[in-house]
Structure 1
C-alpha cells in the first residue's frame, strides 16, 4: 500500500523538486557569484552582492518603500476585511447583492483590474471627473510621488479585501452562536461581544490572514510593472519589481538572485511566525 501511494505521489514530488527546490538552490548559489557578462563563466565572490545591495542608496530606498507599503496596506486590508465580514455575517435585505459586489473583484485577473484602475486614475479619468464635479481640484494620482503608492494600495485592496473577507466570514460562522446568546442574557452589548467573543475566537483566522496578506503584498508586482514601473521618483519601487528590473532589464542576474534570497528569507521568517502563532493558539 505504501509503494502504491508513493508511486502516485512521485510525479508531484518530482515537479515540486524541479519547479521549487532546484530554482531556490540555484538562486542561492548564484547570489554568491558574479559574471563579467552573460556569456562569461561565473566566479565566486562570497557576500559581495549582498554588500553591494545594502550599501546602495537605491536598494535602501526600495526597502523603505516596501516597508511603508506593508505598514499601510496590511492594516487597511485587514480592518476593511473584518468590517465587511461582520457585515456579511448578518442578515439584511440585499445581502446577496452586497456579497456579489464585494467578492466579484476577487475573480478579476490582476492584470485586467490593473488596466481598469489605470484608466480610472488618468488625469481625465472617471475618478477625477467625480472630484471635479464636487468642486475640488483634480489629482495627479499615478504621476505624483506623494500619491502613486497610495493609488497602488487602493488598487490592490480593491482586489484583495474581498479575498480575505472570505476567510473571515468562514471564521465568524465557526463561532458558536450559544456564546452570543449567553452574553446577551448577561446584558453584554455589541462592543463587549466583539472584544470578548468575536476577536478571541477569530484569532487563528486573523493570524492566517495577516501573514498570508503580508506574503502576497511583499511579492506584489503586476500593478507596479504595468502602471508605474517603480516611478515616479522611485516612489512605487517595491522589492519584487526591483528584483525583476535588476535581473531582466539591467541584466545583473547575480544581484537579482541576491534580492530573491533576501526576499525568500523574509518570507521564511513570516511563515515561521505564522506557525508559531497557530501553534500557540492550538496550545491554548
Structure 2
C-alpha cells in the first residue's frame, strides 16, 4: 500500500530527474560532428577539452565567485528580516508583505523590470543623483554587471527564503524569550543565543536550497547581459546553454551539465559538513 502511494512520486523522480541525468552522463562520453553525425565514443575527452578551454574556465570562476558572495548575503539578510518581522510591532505585516511581493513575478519579468532600472537614465541613477553620486554604468561595466545581477536576484530571493525562516522562528516557544527577557537579555542576545540555534534546521534547508537555486541562475544573464561584458556574467548555466544552442556542441554541453551538478553537490556537501560540525 505504501509503495502504491509513493509510486507517482518515484516514477516522476526517475523519469524527470534520474533518467535525464543518466542520459546526459552517457552522451557526454561521445562526440558528434557535423561531417560525422554518428556518435563516436571519446571517453573523458569532452571534459578535458572543457577544462582546457579559457571560456569555460572563466565561466567556472565567475560561478564560484557569484556563489561565494550571493549565498551568505541572501541567507543572512533573509534571517535578519525574518527575525525583525516576527516581532510584534506596528506595521510588521505590511513590510513583510512588501518584501514578499517580488516573488510573484517570474525571474524573466523581474529581469525586464530591472533592465529599465539599470538604464543610464533609469530609476537607479536617478536615485544615486539624489545622493550626489555620479551615474553608474551597471550592466555595461565588467566590474559592476555581476553585482547588479546579484542585487536583482536578492530582490527576488530574500523574501522567498525569509518565509521559510519566519515559519521556523514562529515555532520557537514564546516562554524561552520571556525567560531571557527576565534575565536581562538584549534583542541581539536573544537573536544570537535563542533564535539562531533553534532555527538551525530551517536555516540549513534555506542555505542548501539557495545554493542550488543560484547555481541554476539563467534568465537574468541571458536577458540582461548575454554573459557579458567581457564574460563577467557568464555563469555556467548560461555558458552551457550557449555551448548547446549557439555553438551546437551538445556533447560538451552535457559534460558541462555533469560538471555543474557535481560542483553543486560538492558545495552542498561542504555546507552540510560545516553545519554538522557546528552542532
Report TM bin, short chain.
over 0.9
Residue 280 of structure 1, CA deviation: 7.8
Q: Is the 8 A contact 1:204 1:278 kept in 2?
A: no
Give the alignment partner of residue 71 of structure 1, picking from 64, 68, 72.
68
User: Once the 2 structures are TM-superposed, how far is the Cα of residue 38 of structure 1 from its aligned partner?
Assistant: 8.1
Corresponding residue number in structure 2 for 1:30: 27
User: What is the 5 A alignment of 1:220-235?
Assistant: 220-235=217-232
Q: In the comparison of the two structures, how many residue pairs are matched?
A: 279
Counterpart residue number, 2:180 = 183
97, 101, 105: which one aligns with 2:98: 101
d(CA) in 2 for partners of 1:41, 1:185? 76
- Cα distance in 2 for residues equivalent to 1:196 and 1:97: 28
Is 2:216 aligned against 1:214? no
1:188 aligned counterpart, secondary structure = coil
1:179–1:9 CA distance, 2 compared to 1 (3 A):
closer
Take 1:263 and 1:38, find their aligned partners in 2: how far apart are those partners? 29
Q: TM-score, length-normalised on structure 1? A: 0.91
Q: Distance in 1 between matches of 2:46 and 2:72?
A: 33
> What is residue 43 of structure 2 aligned with on the other side?
46
Structure 1 runs not aligned, ≥5 long: none
SS in 2 for 1:23: helix
C-alpha separation in 1, matches of 2:58 and 2:271: 27
Q: How well do the aligned residues superpose, as a CA RMSD in angstroms?
A: 2.1
The answer on 1:195 being equivalent to 2:177 is no
Whole-angstrom CA distance in 2 between matches of 1:182 and 1:99: 27
Call closer, same or farther: CA 1:187–1:44 in 2, change over 3 Å.
same
Secondary structure of the corresponding residue to residue 159 of structure 1: helix
- 1:90-132 CA distance string (max 9 Å, x none): 1222223212111111111111111000111011111112222
Aligned 8 A contact 1:121 1:141 in 2: yes
Q: Secondary structure at the match of 2:234?
A: coil
Counterparts in 2 of 1:6-155, with a 5 A limit? Answer: 6-7=3-4, 9-37=6-34, 40-155=37-152
Query: Aligned residue for 1:251?
Result: 248
- TM-fit CA distance, 1:20: 1.8
Q: Contact 1:63 / 1:238 at 8 angstroms: preserved in 2?
A: yes
Cα deviation for residue 203 of structure 1 reads 1.2
How far apart are 1:259 and its partner, in Å?
A: 0.5
SS at match of 1:92: coil
Counterpart CA distance in 1 for 2:7 and 2:209 is 28
Deviations 1:37-95 (A, max 9, x none): 28711111111111111112221111111111111111111111111111111122222
Residue 202 to residue 8, structure 1, CA distance change in 2 (3 Å): closer
| CA separation of 1:249 and 1:189: change in aligned 2, threshold 3 A | same
Q: TM-score, normalised by structure 2?
A: 0.93
Unaligned 5+ segments in structure 2 are none
